[in-house]
Structure 1
Amino acid sequence: MINDSLTSLVSRMGTERDKAATVFYTNPVLSDDQVVAAYRGSWLPRKIVDIPALDSCRKWRNWQAEDKQIEDIEAEEKRLNVKGKILEAITKARLFGGAAVFIGTGDANPSEPLDVERVSKGGLKYLTVLSRQDVTAGEIDQDVNSEFYGQPSYYEATGAATMVRIHPSRLVIFLGARHPHNLMSVYNQGWGDSVLTATLDAIKNADSTAGNIASLIFEAKIDIIRLPNFMASLGDERYKAKILERYTLANMSKGINGTLLLDKEEEYETKTASLAGLTDILMAFMQIVSGAADIPVTRLLGQSPAGMNSTGTSDMKNYHDRIQSIQELELTPAMSKLDECMIRSGLGSRPPEVHYSWSPLEQMSEKERAEIFKTNADAARTIVGSGTGQEIITREAISKALTNRLVEDGVLPGLEDAIAEFGELQEQEPSEEELAAAAAAQAATEPNVTRMQRAANDAAPRTLYVSRKVVNAADLIAWAKEQGFKTTLPADDLHVTIAFSRAPVDWMAVGESWSSELKVAAGGPRLMEKFGEARVLLFKASELQWRHAAIKEAGASWDHPEYQPHITISYDPDAPDLADVKPYQGEIILGPELFAEVKEDWKAGVSET
């Protein structure tokens, strides 16, 4: 293209900022030196390269096999540092346009195809990451009957003194941004483009905007002083020296006491630049970068979502779907031969049932896990019914399915070991004689209030107060005394409130808890807080929260915005400063649920010992 030499100062036609420049597209050329300079010199290119690569490997994979097989395979992954090598290769592929992992099996001739069937236990020796600069693609395979059709038929790696030819079956190939031309094109020579090629203009615009805003900060306030005959007097060197001395002293006096001394004929003025709206402009450029890189702004910039009711959930879900697509459509096919070698190297054979799935990036919160657990348990109870023996699906089958689901969801850590130790449901099903004996023993020892609860009339809703007493109250009182509490509630009064419903509720609809005794393991989140005049111990107990939610679903009311399990220790106004109190960290044992009607004057019966 030949351009004339005419340029316009007003329209900037013919300059690098020609208004018509953006309507023309040219073939982008980005050298390795430019790529490295951008990656090392600016944080935006580094994040665009690193974030998807890191997220693709962050949660890694879940192997599906027997426990011992999974242990051996994961040990092999750890020995070879598979996760680290793949992360390094993906990062280099995104940066330079391509990279490979060499599968080292110790064969004498790497130019021959890799036979995975010949890999024995421990046969995978090492993995070596090679970037595009380390490996040169050979001639393109034109045989349509070959599995490598349209791809390089070999690669050449150049070492310090030798050149090694490598068969493509021995390499895990990763491409950067896929090239529209085929692999024979001179544009890529067997590789893809750097992911920075299409995003660099957006990155530079954002960086230059941020730089200009930063420079504008220093010009946000400018002092202007008008002097009579200033230009005419500049020819006098003594005048220039006097001017510099004069305003150096003026700035010093202004900095000391905020007073500026001027001659009567001098004029002083301050001009400030408005910075309003600059943040919106910069964020607009950042959003363009985010779109170009296909990374949400919340992930790219590490900031919280902005705007009313904005959570960023949908953006992150779309991004996680994209990462999952990369894992399933790019990483899995590329790593297929490496995985076959690794399974054989770890196990000594290839069991057909061994496979894996990529771990999801979206992790459920504790509340979501609890809700899923409760939903699954309720569904299992509904299917089993009353246990009359007329169910479509047997109790044992539901137990087995529910156990598998709980293990997969990971909501009850150690469940498999507990089942191995104590047996499954059908293995510990009591006999009719055992059930009758247990019922008789319970009737003889059951507290009066519990029998009243069971005899409650579901046709007469009433207010409801549900609590559990602290069985090991002596341990908590001993701890409180050590922490400086002079008085505490009596041991019989230490309890946890589960429901306090002033609204009448059907007690029979509320039902009963799964367990008559609840143990809260030692440790975990514990805090001391002041609720009004009460000093309380806050702790975490998912079963109490589930039970509270279930009672509310049955129609109970609750006077507070949320439920937090706690034990009231003392109402003593002279209690020690809670900042100096170390929360109780021992086990908390709670007795059976106690049902009673709400007493509005409950404070009248509070006393301490």
Structure 2
Amino acid sequence: MGNVFAFARDSLTSLVSRMGTDRDKAATTFYASTVLSDEQLIAAYSTAWLPRKIVDIPALDACRKWRDWQAKKPQIEAIEEEEKRLNVKGKILEAAKKGRLFGGAAVYIGTGDANPAEPLDVERIKKGGVRYLNVITRRRLNAGEIDRNPESEWFGKPMNYTLAGNNGQQITIHPSRLVLFSGAMPADDEISTNVWQGWGDSVLQSTLDAIKNADSTAGNIASLVFEAKIDIIRIPNFMASLGQAEYRNKLLERYALANTAKGINGTLLLDKEEEYETKTAQLTGLPDVLMTFLQIVAGAADIPVTRLLGQSPAGLNSTGTADMKNYHDRIQSMQELEFQPAMVRLDECLERSADVRDPDVHYRWAPLEQMSEKERADIFKITADAARQLVGTTAGQEIVPREAVSDALVNRLVEDGVLPGLDAAIEEYGKLSEQEPSEEELAAATAAQEAKTANVAQMSAETNDAAPRTLYVRRDVLNASEVIKWAEGQGFTDIVPDLHVTITYSRTPVDWMKMGDNWSDNGKGGLTIPAGGPRLMEAFGDNGEAKVLSFASSALSWRHEDMKRNGASSDREDYQPHVTISYAAGGPDLSSVEPYRGKIELGPEIFEELRED
């Protein structure tokens, strides 16, 4: 008899708990591919709020702030007008939503070409050449054969698409005429169970199980709420008498009357031998269970719970800022890695259709975060300080030409919208680079520069090698006659003869040479405060004896703060540019005075020591 070898597997198996068998609850999960039909996708999107949000929210957020074109102002206006005419933003949003839902959608670039099967020649597009944009889902747009040529631009993608037209007519479209949105990327085209070759998967494909679990949990909790309170009545000989029809009828009639009486006065009438009991279901902890399932849905959809559910974050010191920042980073990645490459040809066509042919024209996606007023003001100040540093000089030469920095700063401020009406004011008064001074202005500038030079020389001599001294810096109002005429018309008397704007009033001795040079001059040694803007009549001083015209000027405010950073002191906590009109007692009621709204021409900075008078 031959040798018999017995092989034993060293594992723990229980016939009772079925641990270690195929029915072990801890066994590895088995994944099976289930493709959702179009009818299922439409039903989920149309009838359930979670699938609709998962499809819509990322697409909506990607298009919500849209993009900022970086070009000259006329070019920006032309491109944005063309975007508005073609409803580019709306079409891209629609295609992105339908692409996420069905796994594929496209925007057809309509140029009126006779044969859409030919590649789109961008060079031939003239002004107004893009006639329309149409959104087509993959349900009507069938992808053709996949291009397997590694030298082709369309490698791995369909070589053409076929559109089912009217009367069964088939229209072949070249992919260069389409802005394609393919939903979720399929794992592999060769083994994919997706019957829609050339397209992606629906974003609901991988999230639907989590959605169903959350919906089922919510439905079961809702059913439990309706059964949270159950009345139990024990009746003698109930089962023995239940077979009699007359007994059943009387039983139903009897408890119908009992419930009616209870509903009216809260009293339940029962026989002495009957027993009544109420059982209440415990709902404690169910909200946490439901929230856990919703968090799983949020994780599956890669959307923060605060955004998906539209609720504030819960918990001590919870703000949700980190979650939203990560989400915004994800949306920005989607814009730059999915939207932007898909829209390359559309953008080229759009620029040519707007008659803009400049290779330097580009755009950036606008940030999704909403800045507070303080954050906007801080960015405004940082930008202006950076511009000031660029205009600084090295060995007597400007680092960057003043005019170039001025134009760039104006474009930035207009794009950021921090100074409403700035673009209109620039059109009215012109840019710094466009301003050509007249002979009178040149003569005035020369005289101002000579006065400034003499003042600097005197200052240098008086300061005894820049010894620290008290400092008073002002700018005289050059068009004082216009301001005085306005003041007299408003009823002011004893008007200050030497109208001026104080920049610094430092009782603390400082080194004047450390105050630096001013960069905001208008090129003629002075400073112009444009007409309009915020103007107020206010009373300054302990007793309100000074009647002043207050106005906004970032240049003066920045200069004041710069001097403070260099050691100067200030008697006022907050600096407010103003022109003192009168110190006379009485006078007109300031609330009834119409402030002077014309432009204010200021001369060069004048440095002096403080005079107590």
The TM-score with structure 1 as length reference comes to 0.69
What's the counterpart of residue 273 of structure 1? 281
- CA deviations 1:291-350 (Å, max 9, x no partner) are 000011111111111111111111111111111111111111111111111211121x53
Alignment of 1:36-435 (within 5 A): 36-161=42-167, 162-182=169-189, 187=194, 188-347=196-355, 350-377=357-384, 402-422=409-429, 431=445
- CA deviations 1:238-272 (Å, max 9, x no partner) are 22222222221221221111122222211111111
Q: Which runs of 5+ in 2 are unaligned?
A: 1-15, 452-473, 481-494, 511-534, 551-567, 581-590, 598-613
- 3-state DSSP class of the match of 1:23? coil
What's the counterpart of residue 445 of structure 1? 496
What's the counterpart of residue 532 of structure 1? none
CA distance 1:18–1:211, change in 2 (3 Å): farther
- CA deviations 1:517-574 (Å, max 9, x no partner) are 69xxxxxxxxxxxxxxxxxxxxxxxxxxxxxxxxxxxxxxxxxxxxxxxxxxxxxxxx
Name the CA distance, whole Å, in 1 between partners of 2:31 and 2:207: 14
Deviation at 1:112, TM superposition (A): 1.2
Deviation at 1:401, TM superposition (A): 5.7
CA contact (8 A) 2:393 2:399 kept: no
CA contact (8 A) 2:186 2:192 kept: no
CA contact (8 A) 2:391 2:400 kept: yes
Name the CA distance, whole Å, in 2 between partners of 1:174 and 1:586: 61
Name the CA distance, whole Å, in 2 between partners of 1:384 and 1:172: 44
Name the CA distance, whole Å, in 2 between partners of 1:50 and 1:419: 41
Name the CA distance, whole Å, in 2 between partners of 1:381 and 1:330: 38
Name the CA distance, whole Å, in 2 between partners of 1:147 and 1:213: 54
Name the CA distance, whole Å, in 1 between partners of 2:179 and 2:393: 57
CA distance 1:339–1:494, change in 2 (3 Å): closer
CA contact (8 A) 1:183 1:191 kept: no
- 3-state DSSP class of the match of 1:149? coil
Name the CA distance, whole Å, in 1 between partners of 2:183 and 2:88: 20
Deviation at 1:431, TM superposition (A): 4.3
Deviation at 1:514, TM superposition (A): 4.8
Q: Confirm or deny that 1:471 pairs with 2:537.
A: yes
Deviation at 1:414, TM superposition (A): 2.1
Match of 1:33 among 32, 39, 49: 39
- CA deviations 1:440-474 (Å, max 9, x no partner) are 999x9399xx99x9475689xxxxxxxxx97379x
- 3-state DSSP class of the match of 1:101? strand
- 3-state DSSP class of the match of 1:352? coil
CA contact (8 A) 2:538 2:549 kept: no
Deviation at 1:182, TM superposition (A): 2.8
Deviation at 1:34, TM superposition (A): 1.1
CA contact (8 A) 2:140 2:164 kept: yes
Alignment of 1:561-600 (within 5 A): none
What's the counterpart of residue 609 of structure 2? none
CA contact (8 A) 1:184 1:190 kept: no
- CA deviations 1:480-506 (Å, max 9, x no partner) are xxxxxxxxx99999999xxxxxxxxx9
- CA deviations 1:22-58 (Å, max 9, x no partner) are 7111112211111111111211001101111111111
Name the CA distance, whole Å, in 2 between partners of 1:517 and 1:302: 50
- 3-state DSSP class of the match of 1:326? helix
What letter is aligned with 2:76? I
CA distance 1:255–1:101, change in 2 (3 Å): same
Name the CA distance, whole Å, in 1 between partners of 2:24 and 2:276: 40
Identity %: 63
Name the CA distance, whole Å, in 1 between partners of 2:395 and 2:572: 22
CA contact (8 A) 1:101 1:127 kept: yes
What letter is aligned with 1:342? L
- CA deviations 1:363-405 (Å, max 9, x no partner) are 2121211222244456667888999989977877765665454
CA contact (8 A) 1:89 1:100 kept: yes
CA contact (8 A) 1:226 1:267 kept: yes
Alignment of 1:432-511 (within 5 A): 439=476, 445=496, 454=505, 456=507, 471=537, 508=570
- CA deviations 1:393-431 (Å, max 9, x no partner) are 787776566545433432112223323434567969984
What letter is aligned with 1:96? F
CA contact (8 A) 1:140 1:183 kept: no
- 3-state DSSP class of the match of 2:166? coil
Name the CA distance, whole Å, in 1 between partners of 2:151 and 2:78: 37
CA contact (8 A) 1:100 1:174 kept: yes
CA distance 1:216–1:233, change in 2 (3 Å): same
CA distance 1:46–1:507, change in 2 (3 Å): same
Query: Which deviates more, 189-198 or 386-395?
Result: 386-395
Q: Work out the number of aligned pairs and report it.
A: 481
Name the CA distance, whole Å, in 2 between partners of 1:184 and 1:25: 15
What's the counterpart of residue 541 of structure 1? none
Deviation at 1:586, TM superposition (A): 12
Name the CA distance, whole Å, in 1 between partners of 2:191 and 2:64: 34
- 3-state DSSP class of the match of 1:157? strand
Q: Determine which structure has more spread, i.e. the larger CA radius of gyration.
A: 2
What's the counterpart of residue 578 of structure 2? 516
Query: Which deviates more, 334-343 or 285-294?
Result: 334-343
Q: Which runs of 5+ in 1 are unaligned?
A: 1-9, 460-468, 474-488, 497-505, 519-583, 591-609
CA contact (8 A) 2:189 2:197 kept: no
Deviation at 1:207, TM superposition (A): 0.3
What letter is aligned with 2:376? R
Name the CA distance, whole Å, in 1 between partners of 2:217 and 2:312: 22
Name the CA distance, whole Å, in 2 between partners of 1:121 and 1:401: 28
- 3-state DSSP class of the match of 2:79? helix
What's the counterpart of residue 456 of structure 2? none
Deviation at 1:507, TM superposition (A): 5.6
What letter is aligned with 2:354? G
CA distance 1:193–1:507, change in 2 (3 Å): same
